[in-house]
Structure 1
Amino acid sequence: MPSQDETVTRIPVETGTTVAAYVAVTKETVRTNNTSDDSRFPDGLSVDVQDVEFILTHPVLEVDGELVGIIELYRKEEDEEFQDEDEEVLNSYLLWGGIAFHYAELYTNMARQKKLNNFLLTLVSFVLGGFRVLITLLLLVYFQTFAQKLVDADRASLFLVDGNTKEMYARMFDVNEEAENADKTGDEATSKEIRQVNRFPVGTGIAGFVAQTGESLNIPDVYNDDRFNRSVDQLTGYTTKNLLCMPIFIRNRVIGVVQMVNKESGSFTKGDEEAFATFATYCGLALHHAKLYERIRRSQKKYMVALEMLSYHSICSEEEVSFVKDKPIFQDFTKLEEFTFPSYSLDSDEKVKATVYMFNDLFGSQKFDQDCLIRFIITVRKNYRRVPYHNWTHGFSVANAMYAVIKSSPTIYKPMEQLALFVASLCHDIDHRGKNNQFLMQSESPLAAIYSTSILEHHHFNQTVSILQQDGHNIFASLSSENYRKVLKNIKHCILSTDLALFFPNKAKLKTLIDEDSFSWKNTEHRLLAEAICMTACDLCSSSKPWDQQQETVKGIFEEFYEQGDAERERGKEPIAMMDRTKLDQQPSSQVGFLKAICLPCYEVTVGVLPNTKPMLDGCLANLEKWEAIAEEQKNKNEEATNNASE
């Protein structure tokens, strides 16, 4: 490999150009003293050499006749021209030189095979005894360092195939020594490494072609290949010249693609292909076992969650169904459609009967089995935990708010959409533990190991499906299979949208549509956005209730916050002020911030698509005014206490 101070001249192997190129093609020795007049090589010499008159160009061949190089000798005008004797002497030397090249290559191949064997032995030991660190080891250590050095490549890429989406994604992309050194020194400006997860359809680009066909590709000039995607080069400023790309198989199925880019000297050889093919085979085994371990780990976590659920919850009995059916009612359920209905005024069983009333009022009592409906609602109630806020009362309150929204605008949502919205509202916080997603991740909860995003929300939906699958609980049994699928899909969308992390992008999209007067109920995506924002509005409905209800709910909210703060402090982490029970004086200002940052923007956008929900916006504004007054009063008290302490 040339040093940094050396200049490397590359010439194409072809006739009709230079002397060296001609000899490389023909493997003939050439003696000449007037290259400018020779039609075989009109471009003369391949290198710039001064005062050259006589030239002797000789091919360097291995024992098997394969060309490994060209040697070119020069003499000046005052010297003698090359004779047959010179050619014979040179040929003798080059005969031994070819043998030397051959043995040098054998030694290089043996050394490379030794490194490959050592790598495979190490990899196998991890496959047999250390699944837990395998995927990290493979991607971050061996693939990064060994694979590149094995074939003398500048960069390395590993793409995995997602069989469900028929897409490929790069867990590690374009790793090179320059980027590795930059990471060690913290100099991000010199790093060209791309660590983001890139997804693209199978069949796209060279890697996609290899994944689709299962064929290996060794391409000496990628810019002359129509399959090459130049966008990455354009993005990074890096220039890809040649590459070696091979599929990773498991049971005759392509699960990934490994790709080496830009061999440091020349192009990738047959020897590189053979060595890399062995490497790719063992990569496949390693990835396969890593995926098996991940499945086992996820199954264990799900089993832990299931045991926890069984110890906490149960399904309803027939006695409970009969008791609720026979329970006398002392409430006027017609007031349920008012946005100001006090949810806490009903006891637990009355909430079940009120839910039955709302469900039948919206969808008809003749279409759904009533015992099944009661059984479903009671089991949903049982699956809400006895936590200060995210409990059965909250679930009922959100369902009641959605009922009021639908009743206020009965023709906006389609029947199947109304069904999904109401059931999603009722079930949206099933088995909530009184802790947020961030806490679950930081505490390494089994749930966090199962779901990578919207942890609680995914769990709430899956628990809803689990209840529907219990005997005598499937309230959707009368629906056609197509409507059943649609409702479940829509329920999932609605429950996931209650994750406040999704609220902000949803609100921004919907607000833009409203501001530009481009929102349309005929557009499916627009309808889904409206459903999502409506779910959030109902989830936050306590902020729009009359002041006495608002105060009652806030007590539960902050008690749940404080319990999480206590748990964080036990784990050695200082909780934020909102969750710190030693900072009760900051409750009013926290409420002001919450109403201004989340609740008001949510209701403003909701009213933009559902004007009849304006009572929720008005209620929120009224509560904000009261909280601001309390916050100002608390601020004055704090300042007075500070002044007294300083005197």
Structure 2
Amino acid sequence: MDDGSGCRPCSVLCMPIQSSHNEMVGVIQLVDKLDGQTFNETDEKILEAFAIFAGIGIRNTKIFENTVKVIAKRQVALEVLSYHTSVSTAEVRKIQSFEIPPAQSYQLLDYGFSDFVLNDDDTIKACIRMFVDLQLLERFHINYEVFCRWILTVKKNYRNVTYHNWRHAFNVAQTMYCVLLRGHMKTMLSDLEVLALLVGCLCHDLDHRGTNNQFQIKTMSPLAQLYSMSTMEHHHFDQCMMILNTTGNNILSELSQTEYRQILHLLEHAILATDLSIYFKYRTSFFKVIEAENVDWNQVENKELLRGMMMTVCDIAAISKPWEIQKEVAHLLASEFFEQGDLEKTVLNVEPVDMLNRDKKDQLPSMQLGFIDSICMPVYKAFAKLNQELIPLLEGCQQNRDRWAMLAATNQLQASEGGKNGMKIEEDDGRKKCIDHSTESTQVPAGR
């Protein structure tokens, strides 16, 4: 009762607030009467009447909140249904007829893999190859027709946004495949965990709208009314489950009840782990585990940390790609950010942060440095220490950091001299053109 002020209460009256179902939903506490007298039976009866009134109020508030959520869910469902289409039988049969090339044909086991030269059919074939090579279809008795329909449905549930689209999800899955096989991380995981991670990678940005969680909250979107934390990530998981529960798409139908419950937990954990706020929350604990000796990776907490950090490693893997790929992807992501910034200016009438501000596009190199130093390098260093087979990711990240640092320095020098910045995004006949003045080269991003 002592709040640290030195004042000691002389009289206290405390009473529970109960709902109509006799559930305690709160507590009322009165301390010291103004006239200095102690609380009496009359006070108790008055407070009891107020507690009943408060209980009704709290109940009505909860009913209202639930109603708002139901309405928001309906709005989201209608929005999704109006946007997405179902997969036809002809499309499924076309995929079933494909001959699936070996991993070497697509360089799927290369950390420097690029999807720029692949068409959409190639990406589907490559996905099938990943699941086949990891023996997931055989291990979990996944029907091939159902699997083909599921992949096509997942692909169709990605919107045609600039960066967070099907191609991004495909690249994240490829990195996970590479980490599991070439990086030998598969030996540290169960088959069920491997399945959850690969499915999670393909589904981790389902129905992304090209705007981040903060935008959903600022605009008070239906999604933000459903989820106040990890808003988009919860929606991605919901979409993943919606697809799995759609007729002809349940690739998990042959799992036992125990395995099914486990993989739902693993899938949710994997997709939510792609929220960078979750990464920042748990990375210190992960780094401590990495530094420890004789780590038991079968311990539940350690394994969850490992899977979550693996999702982050794969989600940001574009930062470790060869420079020409990294530069192009960075501009695609920046373009999507600027599109959100434009919306914030017009819809919210606010000035966006530098990262989203098109007027600050010349600061891209310095912003990339901040992203690498605060997010990428720490986690890649940790995984390089965990497994030397993952060192190429760290090396690629470091090489790109050096290039961005050079461009940032060039920009700063030219700015101080009153010259033009070293890298900027220009428009040429509707195409985004990346111009790197420091090397006098021009790169036009391939269609994605």
How many Å separate the matches in 2 of 1:577 and 1:415? 43
| TM-score under structure 1 length normalisation | 0.61
Query: Which of 54, 73, 94 is residue 283 of structure 1 equivalent to?
Result: 54
How many Å separate the matches in 1 of 2:299 and 2:8? 43
How many Å separate the matches in 2 of 1:245 and 1:369? 62
Instruction: Confirm or deny: 8 A CA contact 1:387 1:434 kept in the other structure.
Output: yes
How many Å separate the matches in 2 of 1:527 and 1:237? 48
How many Å separate the matches in 2 of 1:237 and 1:433? 54
Instruction: Confirm or deny: 8 A CA contact 2:17 2:28 kept in the other structure.
Output: no
Matching of residue 552 in structure 1 with residue 328 in structure 2: yes
Matching of residue 354 in structure 1 with residue 131 in structure 2: no
Q: Which residue number in structure 2 is paired with residue 515 of structure 1?
A: 291
Instruction: Confirm or deny: 8 A CA contact 2:153 2:243 kept in the other structure.
Output: yes
Of the structure 1 ranges 631-640 and 563-572, higher mean CA displacement relative to structure 2 is found in 631-640
Query: Which of 250, 257, 266 is residue 19 of structure 2 equivalent to?
Result: 250
Instruction: Confirm or deny: 8 A CA contact 1:243 1:259 kept in the other structure.
Output: no
- Secondary structure, in 3 states, of the residue corresponding to 2:161? coil
Instruction: Confirm or deny: 8 A CA contact 1:543 1:620 kept in the other structure.
Output: yes
- For residues 141-180 of structure 1, the aligned pairs below 5 Å read none
Instruction: Confirm or deny: 8 A CA contact 2:175 2:314 kept in the other structure.
Output: yes
Shift in Å at residue 506 of structure 1? 1.6
Gap regions ≥5 residues in structure 1:
1-231
Aligned length: 412
Query: Which of 64, 80, 87 is residue 316 of structure 1 equivalent to?
Result: 87
Please, what is the CA RMSD of the aligned residues?
2.0
How many Å separate the matches in 1 of 2:26 and 2:353? 45
Instruction: Identify if the C-alpha distance between structure 1 residues 472 and 260 changes in structure 2 by more than 3 Å, giving closer, same or farther.
Output: same
Q: Which residue number in structure 2 is paired with residue 170 of structure 1?
A: none
Query: Which of 151, 167, 171 is residue 393 of structure 1 equivalent to?
Result: 167
How many Å separate the matches in 2 of 1:602 and 1:370? 36
Q: Which residue number in structure 1 is paired with residue 386 of structure 2?
A: 609
Query: Which of 276, 279, 285 is residue 500 of structure 1 equivalent to?
Result: 276
Instruction: Identify if the C-alpha distance between structure 1 residues 234 and 589 changes in structure 2 by more than 3 Å, giving closer, same or farther.
Output: same
Shift in Å at residue 382 of structure 1? 0.8
Shift in Å at residue 338 of structure 1? 2.0
Query: Which of 312, 321, 328 is residue 536 of structure 1 equivalent to?
Result: 312
- Secondary structure, in 3 states, of the residue corresponding to 1:365? helix
Instruction: Confirm or deny: 8 A CA contact 2:2 2:8 kept in the other structure.
Output: yes
- For residues 25-64 of structure 1, the aligned pairs below 5 Å read none
Shift in Å at residue 512 of structure 1? 2.0
- Secondary structure, in 3 states, of the residue corresponding to 1:258? strand
Instruction: Identify if the C-alpha distance between structure 1 residues 301 and 524 changes in structure 2 by more than 3 Å, giving closer, same or farther.
Output: same
Instruction: Confirm or deny: 8 A CA contact 1:429 1:460 kept in the other structure.
Output: yes
How many Å separate the matches in 2 of 1:266 and 1:555? 71
Of the structure 1 ranges 283-292 and 236-245, higher mean CA displacement relative to structure 2 is found in 236-245
Instruction: Identify if the C-alpha distance between structure 1 residues 549 and 238 changes in structure 2 by more than 3 Å, giving closer, same or farther.
Output: farther
Q: Which residue number in structure 2 is paired with residue 635 of structure 1?
A: 412
Of the structure 1 ranges 409-418 and 630-639, higher mean CA displacement relative to structure 2 is found in 630-639
Q: Which residue number in structure 1 is paired with residue 37 of structure 2?
A: 266
Q: Which residue number in structure 1 is paired with residue 116 of structure 2?
A: 344
Q: Which residue number in structure 2 is paired with residue 335 of structure 1?
A: 107
Q: Which residue number in structure 2 is paired with residue 442 of structure 1?
A: 218
How many Å separate the matches in 2 of 1:485 and 1:495? 16
Deviations 1:360-412 (A, max 9, x none): 22134332111111111111111111111000000000011111111121311
Q: Which has the larger radius of gyration?
A: 1
User: Which AA in structure 1 matches 2:86?
Assistant: I
How many Å separate the matches in 1 of 2:32 and 2:8? 12
How many Å separate the matches in 2 of 1:583 and 1:346? 33
Instruction: Confirm or deny: 8 A CA contact 1:530 1:606 kept in the other structure.
Output: no
Query: Which of 454, 458, 461 is residue 237 of structure 2 equivalent to?
Result: 461
Query: Which of 352, 363, 375 is residue 149 of structure 2 equivalent to?
Result: 375
Deviations 1:153-175 (A, max 9, x none): xxxxxxxxxxxxxxxxxxxxxxx
| TM-score under structure 2 length normalisation | 0.87
Of the structure 1 ranges 375-384 and 339-348, higher mean CA displacement relative to structure 2 is found in 339-348
User: Which AA in structure 2 matches 1:313?
Assistant: H
Gap regions ≥5 residues in structure 2:
421-448
Instruction: Confirm or deny: 8 A CA contact 2:233 2:274 kept in the other structure.
Output: yes
- Secondary structure, in 3 states, of the residue corresponding to 2:107? helix
